[in-house]
Structure 1
Amino acid sequence: MVFMLIFGMCACGKKEKAKEAAPDLVLELPKEKENSASDSEETVSGMDEATQNEDIPEKKGILIAIDPGHQAPDVDMSAKEPNAPGSNVMKAKATGGTSGRYSGIAEYELNLAISLMLREALQNEGYDVIMTREDNETAISNAERATMANDAGADIAIRIHANGSENSSANGALVLIGSAGNPYVGNLYDESNRLAQDVLDNYCAATGMANQGIQVNDTMTGINWSKIPVIILEMGFMTNQQDDLNMADSAYRQKMVEGIVSGVNEYYQQ
């Protein structure tokens, strides 16, 4: 009996020592949880950074000049300037443009609205963009607009305009470029023509506008002062009911911009 009691006491003593030693086995658990939380934060942070990087388009290294044609008529641009470098032909520095016969929207307002949308869309594609004006009160002549694009080192220039006619049935989109025989920009004809074709075809495909083709015109100051491929996109006739109301619609404007961007992409893929 005494032996059993002593043995039992010894056994209990061993168990108590084992219990006292047991906590050493779990002391590291909280540290493991802290490390796990820290690792998770770093992982989430890394994922956020990766997501942000995915949202940033890869730069193409291409600078595009966008010229929203005309400006508000209260900006006096009636003074004359040479129609081309060294030319004796003088033209008004700029004009207010036409207006929507049915929408009531002024051309200079439409041109700027589309140009601002176009800038964002092109930047989302990785292009760099310079605007000749960002509001309707900027006093800048047609020659100065072309010079701005030249001096900025732009690769191409897209001049955004809308058409008008006394004939309300006239409709559709067209592009103006300088001719091959133009003494100022004749050397740019091939590239300007290729850009014009790509933009016009894609624009008309996206919008359903009638394609009125490419027309050469050597009287445009903004073309004659250019040193880079340049086009004037006449987006539609503001004097035609269907064209005018289409160009006033926000969803349709998105199609207009998408068409221009597709044309630019095609131009640079060739």
Structure 2
Amino acid sequence: MFSNESHGGTRSRSLAVAAVVVVAALAGGWFVYDAHRGSDAGPADGRGPGAAPAAARTTPATVAHGDASAAPGATSAAPREELTGRTVVLDPGHNLGNAEHTAEIGRSVDIGTNRKACDTTGTATDAGYPEATYTLDVAHRARALLEARGAKVILTYDGDRPYGPCVDERARTGNAAHADAALSIHADGAPADKFGFHVIAPKSLHKGAADTRAVAAPSLRLATTLRSHFNAVTGEPLANYLGGKGLTVRDDLGGLNLTTVPKVFIECGNMRNAHDAAEMTDPAWRQKAAEGIADGLTAFLEGKR
């Protein structure tokens, strides 16, 4: 999935004192890098002229901590702890069991602005790879990265329930955790000629059970920060639909309407587009997606862009 390169060296010098020669050897540090070279399918069906060139779909090397391939006796880099004391909630969209529980997920719940279905089955690639499988896999990968940086990570569900949770419960999980940031992970099911990713932020509103006035601004900053980092790491272009800016603000999503903490949705690509589908079914690209998510959340929590 990734290639590792090890770099190292030794420096020595001798010093003659009287008739005794003392040789001191100083060991150089070993640095281990991940080259992050996922598969690059290049232009494919439905990939328009706005697609990122192949060169843009690679990522720069990053330091890998404590890599087992380092030379014996090498000193591992210090573990990252920049997110110590921070809580992140990851919300993997949908559930594989939803299709077998249509009555349960079809019941309506209050989202403040109106009522909406508890949940849906989500979409899938033309070959049948489900959105729910994608979102849970990426959530697991992102959780591992964030925990390695010191964060406490809570999932709204972890493949441990037959269906759901409903959209209002998903929002309540982040609220109850007093999360510093929350993210719903999804993939789109747009027409096949559409491609790219986009991020959705909550609109500032106060209606019924929904009151996002305090979190709309930080959520928008989270959205723009996440958009930048996800694009940089994955090379995935901004969606060539919905205005082409890769960002929308909505008031019809229960998971956003009911949040009391900074929260956004990310639609990581279009599963009905051949190129995006090939990426999302590739484990190496899913790791990149998780890295883009983790980097975006980390930057947001550190007050960076």
Q: TM-score, normalised by structure 1?
A: 0.74
The alpha-carbon deviation at position 52 of structure 1 amounts to 10
Q: Secondary structure of the equivalent of 1:257? A: helix
* Residues 127-166 of structure 1 mapped to structure 2, 5 A cutoff: 127-135=151-159, 137-165=162-190
Q: Deviations over 1:180-210 (max 9, x none)?
A: 3565213312100110111111101111111
Aligned to 1:74: 100
Letter in 2 for 1:224: N
Residue 198 of structure 1 pairs with residue 198 of structure 2: no
In the TM superposition, residue 80 of structure 1 has moved relative to its aligned partner by: 1.0
Offset, 1:139: 3.5
Q: Which runs of 4+ in 1 moved over 6 A?
A: none
Distance apart, 1:239 and its partner CA:
0.5
CA distance in 2, matches of 1:108, 1:57: 30
Counterpart CA distance in 1 for 2:164 and 2:296 is: 30
- Give the RMSD, CA atoms, in angstroms: 2.0
CA shift in 2, pair 1:182/1:204, >3 Å: farther
Tell me if structure 2 keeps the 8 A contact 1:199–1:260: yes
Matching residue within 117, 133, 140 for 1:116? 140
In structure 1, runs of 5+ residues without a counterpart are: 1-50
**AA partner of residue 194 (structure 1):** R
| Cα distance, 1:56 vs structure 2 | 8.1
How do residues 1-270 of structure 1 correspond to structure 2 at under 5 angstroms? 57=81, 60-72=84-96, 73-75=99-101, 76-84=104-112, 89-102=114-127, 104-135=128-159, 137-165=162-190, 167-181=191-205, 183=207, 184-212=211-239, 213-270=246-303
Give CA deviations for 1:9-66 in whole Å, capped at 9, x if unaligned: xxxxxxxxxxxxxxxxxxxxxxxxxxxxxxxxxxxxxxxxxx8995584762100000
User: Partners of 1:202 and 1:58 in 2: how far apart?
Assistant: 17
Calculate the TM-score normalised by the size of structure 2: 0.66
**Partners in 2 of 1:262 and 1:56 — Cα distance?**
13
Cα deviation, residue 137, structure 1? 2.7
Q: Partner amino acid for 1:79?
A: R
Local SS of the residue matching 2:219: helix
Mapped to 1, the partners of 2:187 and 2:232 lie a distance apart of 18
Q: How many residues align?
A: 215
Q: Quick check: which one's strand share is greater?
A: 2
Partner in structure 2 of residue 46 of structure 1? none
Shift of the 56–176 alpha-carbon distance from structure 1 to 2, 3 Å rule, reads: closer
Q: Give the conservation status (yes or no) of the 8 Å contact 1:77–1:141.
A: yes
